[in-house]
A and B are shown apart, each in its own frame.
Chain A
Amino acid sequence: MTTTVEATARSRSVPARPGFFKRLFAEYGQEVVVLAAIVVLFAVVTMVNPRFISANNLTTIFSGNAYIAVAAIGMAMVIVTGNIDVSVGALIGVLATISGSLAVAGYPIWFAWLAPVLVGMAVNAVIGVLVAYARIPSIVVTLGALSILRGGLISVTGGTWITDLPPDYLIAQKQILGLPVPLVFMVVLTLLAAFWMRYTAFGRSLYAIGGNAEAALATGIPIARRTVAVFVIHGAFAGLATILFATQLQVIQSTVPPNLELTVITAAVIGGVSILGGSGTVIGSTLATILFATIGSALIFVNVSAYWLRAVIGLLILATVLADMLRRRGRG
């Protein structure tokens, strides 16, 4: 048959596999860009002020923001499935108060650490059910949850801080093998989550759901159940983030940093998670968190007023987003 001969002849002109870097860039483009930005920033700022890479400052950069990176892991998973959660900031505030109160009330330390994880999972299970089974858009559900959690937090605490935390409780201030615990948490959790999302069928199904829900259904993926599950997992990460957040100071404030949920979302998106779902990795979201922290620290070291920090970050986010859009348009 002539056509078969023709097709076989074609095999001789098989294009060479593209090079390693090209492939890396094709698969992890955004992650590479963010990593490069961090490296460049480090190099430049260190030239201006060598104290930038002192152990002390590095600890501040990596440890102080580790809880955001941990929360962004769960957020990345939620966004990959095509959903969103704007309540995670308020949730972390609530969980921190619960955890701190338990610690102060004399419950075992391990219980004070475990409680935020369990409560986070429970709260997000409710959110997940409302999204998956009651079919309310996730932004609406979590907007409501944001009000409930935020209001609940302030009305329960009355704005007072939790003090006299037992020293053993303050895990974020401790070290493992000479490394700060938050850093270890961040790295280990990111790698575990990245591995899970890459090497398990469950993890891959998140991409399928976010990429093409109809096709996912046809493949037999139980979309509703997986959606609930991903919110529950996200709740667990919020709980883990809470442990780092609540134990980094001697006190627990009754508020979380303003717009914390948006910071977490931004970390995921700048790290390469498509807001439309279906693509992105948690390595990217963690790198993006580190990038923000690095910028914040760098501004101080090059003597820019901290008040301009957010403007610079905003500008950077905008530049990244526009660059990403132009890159995509160039491709398609």
Chain B
Amino acid sequence: MNLKSLIRHETFLALLLVVVLIVLSFQSDRFLTVDNLLNQGRLMTEIGLIAIAMTFVIATGGIDLSVGSILGLTAILTGVFWQNVGLPLPVAATAAIAVGTFAGFVNGVIITRFRVPPLIATLATLALYRGLAEGISQARSVRGYPEWFYVLGQQDVLGVPTQLWILFLAAVVASVILAYTTWGRTVYAVGSNEVASRFSGLSVEKTKLALYTASGFAAAIAAVIFVSRVSTTRSDMGTGIELDAITAVVLGGTSIFGGRGTVVGTIIGLCLIQALKNGLSLAGIKGDGTIMLIGAVLILAILASNLFERSGTRT
């Protein structure tokens, strides 16, 4: 493993984050306040959960483009199960999450059983799952959830937004799994050399199947949090979130070819993106202009780390 170059990328990124935070705090007094930062954390939870699962998927050399559609489908089903089918909300949400997880499992089956390249497989299910969401919802949105449901997306536990706890927990668990367990080791091995992994008796197919299922699960959880945060469900929820999540993962140092990457890197990448979005909008730059900057940061960060690596490890 290129531990050195990895650390270098993450350190570089963390430094960049610090610089950005300092610069932005000079731009606006409201930026570096506890309230604002916690609120930003709230906003990045959904992408965060998806990006954490995506880190694993990309580290195996795969990709999952269907997460945004799974999010939309799960959101719609939560509403439909609750309002139209008449299930109690907790049951409805659980059932919807189960469907979202199953959607991820289907991705895994298509990729492992039928050997369809992940990009194509999830491109197809991206259309399929979003289509199901649109078909089921018939463009109707579901509103009027009970008050307690908003605890998840709009309120705090111990002074910290509820969903931020979930993201934090997910990040810690995922980091530990990726860094210290046999499962994490398998992920890196598969991403670096799938054939050799198979020849070493690692369960390549099972691992991949589990990862795509987990990716579906993460998107489904994100969906319920999303619904709770915005108080409504719509079939277009989560459109394009896959690209945001991939951006965070790649920015965080995970190689798009697999074999390399950490959850910490992804989280730093995520924070960097969110800080830029927020800080710039506070500084008066129009909200969508910040997206441009994120794109530029993505390209420049990879360019910089490419240059580092080449000058550093050339023998």
Contacts and interface: CB of A to CB of B under 8 A. Distances in A.
Interface of A: 84, 86, 130, 134-137, 139-141, 143-152, 154-155, 158, 258-259, 262, 265-266, 269, 275-276, 305, 307-315, 317-318, 321-322, 325-326, 329
Interface string B261-294: 0000000000000000000000000111111111
B114 interface: yes
Contacts of A152: 289, 292
B120 A259 contact: no
Given A137-B256, A154-B288, A312 B131 contact: yes
Given A136-B299, A315-B128, A317-B128, A307 B292 contact: no
A325 B239 contact: no
Interface of B: 65, 110, 114-117, 119-121, 123-132, 134-135, 137-139, 236, 239-240, 243, 246-247, 250, 256-257, 286-296, 298-299, 302-303, 306
Contacts, number: 151
Nearest to A304: B135
Given A136-B303, A315-B128, 17 more contacts: A137-B256, A143-B246, A144-B296, A146-B243, A147-B294, A148-B296, A151-B291, A152-B289, A259-B239, A259-B240, A262-B127, A266-B127, A275-B120, A308-B134, A310-B131, A318-B124, A322-B110
A140 B293 CA distance: 15
Nearest to B66: A314
B295 A145 contact: yes
A318 B110 contact: yes
A314 B137 contact: no
B120 A321 contact: yes
A317 B124 CA distance: 6
Contacts of A266: 123-124, 127
A307 B138 contact: yes
A83 to B, nearest CB: 12
Nearest to B140: A307
Nearest to A154: B288
Contact of A307 (B115, B135, B257): B135
Contact of A318 (B125, B243, B286, B287): B125
B246 A276 contact: no
Contacts of B291: 147-148, 150-151, 154
A58 to B, nearest CB: 24
Q: Report which residue of B123, B247, B250 has the largest number of chain A beta carbons within 10 angstroms of its beta carbon.
A: B123
Q: Report which residue of B130, B239, B288, B289 has the largest number of chain A beta carbons within 10 angstroms of its beta carbon.
A: B288
Contact of A314 (B115, B125, B296): B125
